[in-house]
Amino acid sequence: MSRTLLKPFRNPANPREIWFNRMLSGLRTVQTKNVIGIWKIRFTILKMGIRTKLEFATKIVKAVGILHNLAVSFRDPEPEAENQTYDDNQQYEEHEGEEIAPANEAGQREAGRIFRYSIVERYF
């Protein structure tokens, strides 16, 4: 787990954790739709439809994902589009710059768990 990957509580122990799981589930749906919208704006091949064999289409989608992640990493501005319907999730900007990625996997899991609990404590 990290600042960019949050998992639901496996066995929510209280109403706040149950609410967190519900909100996270809804957020994932919204974020997926938002990312697809962003991709369609930036990569017009997706907007027009991919008309190729499934194997090649899968490679195109993977490449779009990689290029999108690079654009985000390099803070490349998103292209302007009419009637943009996605949300840039500004509510998480306050956590930008927090470093919670220890070198080992156990440390990453623990840091992610602590981050998840901090979100529950702060917002739920």
Q: What is the pLDDT of residue 5?
A: 67
Q: Which residue has the tokens 């997706």?
A: 46
Band of pLDDT at residue 103, cut at 50, 70 and 90: low
pLDDT at 96: 42
Indicate the domain borders of the chain. 10-78
Q: What is the pLDDT of residues 3-40, one digit of tens each?
A: 556 788 889 999 999 998 888 887 767 677 788 888 88
Give the pLDDT of residue 81.
Answer: 65
Q: What is the pLDDT of residue 79?
A: 76
Over range 71-85, report the average pLDDT: 74
Residue-wise pLDDT tens digits, 104-121: 677 777 877 788 788 778
Q: What is the pLDDT of residue 4?
A: 57
The contacts of residue 112 (CB under 8 Å, 6+ apart) are 1, 2, 5, 6, 7, 100
Residue 92's pLDDT band, with cuts at 50, 70 and 90, is very low
Average pLDDT, the chain: 75
Return all residues near 118 (Cβ < 8 A) that are at least 6 apart: none
